A and B are shown apart, each in its own frame.
Chain A
Amino acid sequence: MWRTGAAALLAMLAIGGIAGCGGRSEETLVVYSGRSETLVAPIIKQFSDLTGIKTEVKYGDTAALASTLLEEGAKSPADVFFAQDPGGLGAARPLLATLPSSIRGRVPEWASALDGTWVGISGRARVVVYNNRVLTEADLPDSIAGFTDPAWKGKIGWAPTNGSFLSMVTAMRQVWGEDATEQWVRGIQANGPRSYSGNTAVVQAVGSGEVQVGFVNHYYLHRFLAEQGESFPARNYYTRSADPGSVLLIAGVGILKSSKNKANAEKFVEFLIGTVAQQYFASQTFEHPLVGGVVRAPGIPELSNIKRPEIDVSQLSDLSGTQALLRRVGAIP
């Protein structure tokens, strides 16, 4: 019994001790990153090494971090919010400061918030991933609309609860309108698509031949190829016509109004849109850079070669309507 008592006491002491040394200097830049550590830790470290500005990062899921920021409100320790998609930034918008025009001016307007609260850092294209042992690119329809053809019955994989998929459907609603989008979703459903939890699972399933095509972001395939070699039997297809199937989605960054470290926060954002970081995203995470003068990873087309729809990416943060539509037709619970 004394052992149990002593253990509990020790635990309390340990907690007290650890809690006591939690202080951190005002100078340290605190980043909440909805982008995974595997993707962005190296470039954040490079920022610290180059500028001497210390950084502390909280990694998490973009939605969970947005909710955390909203709970923290003005008391948030965060200086910067680095989000996977405009939806997360949009949710946190009441907490974000307007970025200086020197930063906004360097990122294309279509990839930034209208009100200047965030800018895009890198892009990922929506693509159709297909199993290249059973299909060639010529077998695939010009537009993503073509997959509602009954010929695709039982061959499609999708991830209807995934954030990027929802953004794509939001883009469809903008380009095609509400009714046509609903028809498309119903058409795909009629073909009995296999539902997966996310892009990774879809690419995996296409590679294994469980399904033949899937709607995903472009870069997952490149990670599979890097890990499993060129023999991994799947390739990306960018739709031949400029439709929402090839919309470019954005990861972006904003600075918290409550930040007491705005100067360093701005340096951080400037660094992310600078050539070094942009080159990193192009070659290490296989993404599309948003500023010029950057060399792409092999197999990733120039943005100008992708037929993209004319839409306002920042408006893709309106996801409630998309969710309601998908619920209505029963694509998500």
Chain B
Amino acid sequence: MLFHRENLRVALGQFALPQFRLRSRSVSRPRAPIALTATGLLIAIAVLLPIVYLVIRSVGAGEAASEMLFRARTGAIVVRSLVLVVVVTAGSVAIAVPLAWLTTRTDLPGRRWWVVAAVLPLVVPSYVAAMVAVAALGPRGMLQGALDRIFGIERLPAIYGLPGAALVLVLLSYPYVFVTVRAALRRMDPALDEAARGLGYGPGRTSLKVTLPLLRPAIAAGALLVALYTLSDFGAVSLLGYETFTWAIFIQYETTFDRTAASALSLVLIAVALGILLLDSATHARGRYHRSTSGAVRPVSNLSLGRWRWPAAIGVGTLVTSAVIAPLGVLCFWVARGASAGGVEFPWPSAWNSLRVSLLAAAVSSALALPVAILAVRFAGRFAAFLDRATHMGFALPGVVVALALVFFGVNFAAPLYQTIALLVFAYTVLFLPAASGAIKTSLLQVNPHVEEAARSLGRSEVKTILQVTLPLITPGILTGAAMVFLLTMKELPATLILGPLGFKTLATEVWSAASEAFFAKAALPAIMLVLAAGAPTAFLLLRESRRASDDGEGRSPGGNGA
């Protein structure tokens, strides 16, 4: 037994348990190729444009801003925002990690379909989710109506405030964690699990002591996105009446049309986001997460859930029902109710526009996320850390701020591009880059750098090594990131409205246009189309991927066609 334990430590120590590896590996890292650093620099400039704009606008911020900044209430609002961030992030991790594990590592019935459904909340605009939540769960909502008929319950407790806002945001944003964790689980070296099992750990203990620690970077990457997204959300908090800092910024724009004060407040938001990012890097485990050998990518044998199989399915089903099926149901009900009152038209051109710009945004963001991720993982240093943090700024800012910044730069310095698809896609990239780079980083951490070193020692240049060896190995991460950017762009509203070409409509703008004027039926149809149009490519991508993995018993050579 003692012998076994010792073996286990040798097998696992340097991967799962940070205290076992480290300083000894202070081998001098290779310098980043100039081309990579130069690209990184350009990206940094691009993503920092909104902050430059905010600084320019804040200069001469008048009394209104300073009065607002330095009153006691502002502190309280910042605290409220942080409370929401913590609750939503914790809730998302608590839901997403077990869900990812159940759908990748067990014999959960119908798990491939659950995966597709579980990702879809990413595409639901937060104000739509909040509207649906109020209609369904409000004190006198649909649920109350049903309970009234059965039990005579006349009123449900109000969902407004923190509980409602947190519920809606958790259901909307757990997929950020789910997607990255799932990708990590699928690429994880099964040898580690098998070693633990072989050496006497039970399945539960293996998951807790081996699998979970190895998932840390993936969980952190997803959680970071959830935290920053929560900070920037306006739709859910305003509809559910929970005062946050972003809401305060909006009120500044909406009611006093004071760009200066709004910009100064946005800089505070940036400071809060930076705090979250620093906290995130402080908690990073610096362990290694890749496989020890150049072993094949092969799936871990699935754990049999036994008598827990159906309870687990019911749990997952409940989640998917509340996050996806119930909102769709409410939307369908609105369409049906409105259809009897008047015609309902399918906005096909808008659907096409949504797909088009979302695919473009996914492609461009993935392309730009690659150098960011490679620098961050392979050439970690001050510049890489700075670049990585800079890319997260857009994600934490309300879309309207980023859009106005690009109006400023577009009109003054890039007039021919102003109000074109090109500038719009650029805006999406600034907003959503970290969603792509996070997934790629997670994937890259799981690739053994020795493989790259081998390629270099065999005469490949740095750039060729990246293109021919690294890229093929991290394709799943690239696709995951692209899918997230695609879904985020599908629902993006403020930048689309402000920066889109004249007369440019997407499904998200159609929903907003009707919903803001209380035309529920008109709003519901494009909202349903939004979910379906986003769901189809996602399903294709995810199902194709899992089919390939299950056909992949033999595994592929890790160098792909490059080695």
Contacts and interface: CB of A to CB of B under 8 A. Distances in A.
Q: Are A and B interaction partners? A: yes
Interface of A: 1, 4-5, 7-8, 10-12, 14-16, 18-19, 22, 24, 30, 36-39, 56-61, 63-68, 70-73, 75-77, 87-88, 90-91, 161, 163, 166, 194-201, 203-205, 208-210, 220, 223-224, 226-229, 319-320, 322-323, 327, 330, 332-333
A68 B404 contact: yes
B415 A36 contact: no
A107 B509 CA distance: 32
B252 to A, nearest CB: 8
A4 B471 contact: yes
Interface residues of B, number: 82
Contacts of A1: 467-468, 471-472, 475, 560, 562
Given A8-B364, A19-B422, A77 B255 contact: no
Nearest to B513: A37
A333 B247 contact: yes
A160 B501 CA distance: 33
B77 A333 contact: yes
A88 B251 CA distance: 13
A11 B360 contact: yes
Contacts of B338: 227
B255 A161 contact: yes
A194 B494 contact: no
B408 A91 contact: no
B238 interface: yes
A196 B160 CA distance: 9
A68 B338 CA distance: 34
B517 A15 contact: no
A231 to B, nearest CB: 12
B338 to A, nearest CB: 5
A45 B415 CA distance: 28
B417 A19 contact: yes
Contacts of B226: none
Contact of B502 (A24, A67, A166, A322): A24
B257 A67 contact: yes
A208 B141 contact: yes
Contacts of B547: none
Contacts of A15: 360, 364, 421-422, 425
Interface in B265-309: none
Given A38-B517, A198-B516, 10 more contacts: A4-B366, A15-B422, A57-B503, A75-B412, A161-B247, A220-B517, A228-B337, A229-B341, A327-B73, A332-B251
A327 B520 CA distance: 32
A210 B513 contact: no
A161 B254 contact: yes
B39 interface: no
7 contacts: A38-B519, A71-B411, A90-B257, A196-B241, A205-B138, A208-B140, A227-B519
Contacts of A67: 253, 257, 259, 400, 404
Contacts of A90: 257
Given A19-B420, A59-B513, A200 B518 contact: yes
A60 B498 CA distance: 7
A227 B425 contact: no
Nearest to A23: B416
A98 B177 CA distance: 54
B139 interface: yes
A225 to B, nearest CB: 10
Question: SS class of chain A's interface: helix, strand, loop or mixed?
Answer: helix
B514 interface: yes
B413 to A, nearest CB: 11
CB-CB nearest 4 A-B residue pairs: A91-B257, A56-B502, A11-B363, A333-B243
B255 A201 contact: no
B497 interface: yes
B497 A59 contact: yes
A38 B514 contact: yes
A118 B400 CA distance: 26
B141 A63 contact: no
B140 A18 contact: no
Contacts of A208: 138, 140-141
Which of A15, A39, A56: most chain B CB closer than 10 A? A15
A8 B363 contact: yes
Contact of A8 (B251, B367, B500, B515): B367
Contacts of B73: 327, 330, 333
B430 interface: no
B256 interface: yes
A63 B468 contact: no
B478 interface: yes
Contacts of B502: 24, 30, 56-58, 77
B247 A223 contact: no
Contacts of B134: 201, 204
Interface string B475-494: 10010000000000000001
Nearest to A21: B420
Contacts of B337: 227-228
B422 A161 contact: no
